[in-house]
Amino acid sequence: MHKIPVTIITGFLGAGKTTLVRHLLQNNQGRRIAVLVNEFGEMGIDGDLLRGCQICDEDENPQDNIVELTNGCLCCTVQEEFFPTMQQLLERREQIDCMLIETSGLALPKPLVQAFRWPEIRNGATVDGVVTVVDSQGLATGTIVGDLEALETQRQADPNLEHETPIEELFEDQLACADLVLLTKTDLIDESTLTRIKARLEQQLRPGVKIISCHNGEINADILLGFNAAVEDDLNSRPSHHDHEEDHDHDDDINSVQVIIDEAIDPKTLIEKLKILVTEAEIYRIKGFVHVPHKPMRMVLQGVGDRFDSFYDRLWQDSELKQTKLVIIGRSLNSDKIRASLKN
């Protein structure tokens, strides 16, 4: 029986991983693709969006091909959640042409790849390639991983200086493990800035790793699939900050807050409140659905820093409650204060 080729899609919060997966599913070129989504927080926002793509056959249950892991960071829970999930999918591998794993923005890719060395998984699946999605506008403004230019200056001045934050280490590990880097939101920066960002990234990538610009996740599936890299056998060439650690620790202060608002709310008012909230707390990512007054469709809301995007994805279903549901991810967030500020 064939091994399932698995593409791991990693990248920081809000870089555009889910948009990329959605486009790939909608343009699958006949491929039968299983999707495993690792969601940070208990509310399955990304999985719900993916199921809305309606890529499965009419007699096929989307739930069978799209699996959500909600127990925190996937690289920390490979044994508790990932392993049994992979076992279930491998039982169906004759029905699957390939698999996508969308990691959370806080997941280290290398520990996940290492799980594919386990005999129970190795015999049925291989990591075809690792795709790292990077927000170019975030890099340009320093809102995602800080000011990389200043960081490089510090390194050159004193290589022994302890100046790296966990988020910067995570970003470097995602680049170190990549077979391909996709730059998103390039339409929001000028050409000279894009050239500078590419040059900066190339210094952190292995030789031969390409950087490709990608708008709204629109990229040919043949570029994303078919690396045949067998990444699990190539980890020595992909060094990370955590190679010599028995376990890696994420910043324990990073947490998520879920907010549910029963009443319909004007999206402009909501975004104004969220922008104020972002200035008062260290918030990395906001995503969710909004119940807009007098609108039969559900609004998807996503925010990184003080930038917010929204669109209507589908009609509200008769069987579901019309509610605004948000997941807010950041550092040392006060859930009571956040909920109170949004509901008042």
250: which DSSP letter? -
pLDDT in tens, 287-325: 899 999 999 999 999 887 778 889 998 999 998 899 999
Amino acid at 123: N
Please name the residue that has the structure tokens 């006060």. Answer: 334
With CA atoms as reference, report the closest residue to 180 among 229, 139, 130. Answer: 130
Contacts of 239 (CB under 8 A, 6+ apart): 176
Q: Which two tokens stand for residue 92?
A: 């169906």
Helix, strand and coil percent figures for the chain, each rounded to 5: 35, 25, 35
Higher per-residue confidence, 240 vs 187:
187
pLDDT in tens, 118-173: 888 898 999 999 999 999 988 888 665 444 454 445 445 544 334 344 677 888 88
Pick the CATH number of 254-343 from 3.30.1380.10, 3.40.50.1010, 3.30.1220.10, 3.50.50.60: 3.30.1220.10
Per-residue pLDDT at 72: 58
pLDDT in tens, 200-257: 899 989 988 999 999 888 998 888 888 889 999 988 888 887 666 544 445 556 678 8
CA within 13 Å, CB half, 207 = 0
The helix or strand, by DSSP H or E, that contains position 172, with its residue range, turns out to be: helix 166-176
The answer, yes or no, to whether residue 92 has pLDDT greater than 80, is: yes
Per-residue pLDDT at 145: 47
Contact predicate 307/300, CB 8 Å: no
Instruction: Give the span between the Cα atoms of 327 and 338, in whole angstroms.
Output: 11
Per-residue pLDDT at 126: 95
Domain 4-237: assigned CATH number: 3.40.50.300
The answer, yes or no, to whether residue 183 has pLDDT greater than 70, is: yes
pLDDT in tens, 61-81: 656 677 776 665 555 555 556
Contact predicate 107/38, CB 8 Å: yes
pTM higher than 0.85: no
Return phi, psi of residue 254, to 5°.
-75, 125
Per-residue pLDDT at 144: 56
Q: Which sequence spans correspond to the domains of the chain?
A: 4-237, 254-343
* Chain mean position to CA 19: 10
Per-residue pLDDT at 54: 60
Per-residue pLDDT at 79: 54
Confidence of residue 181 (pLDDT cuts 50, 70, 90): very high
Instruction: Give the span between the Cα atoms of 184 and 217, in whole angstroms.
Output: 8
Per-residue pLDDT at 312: 92
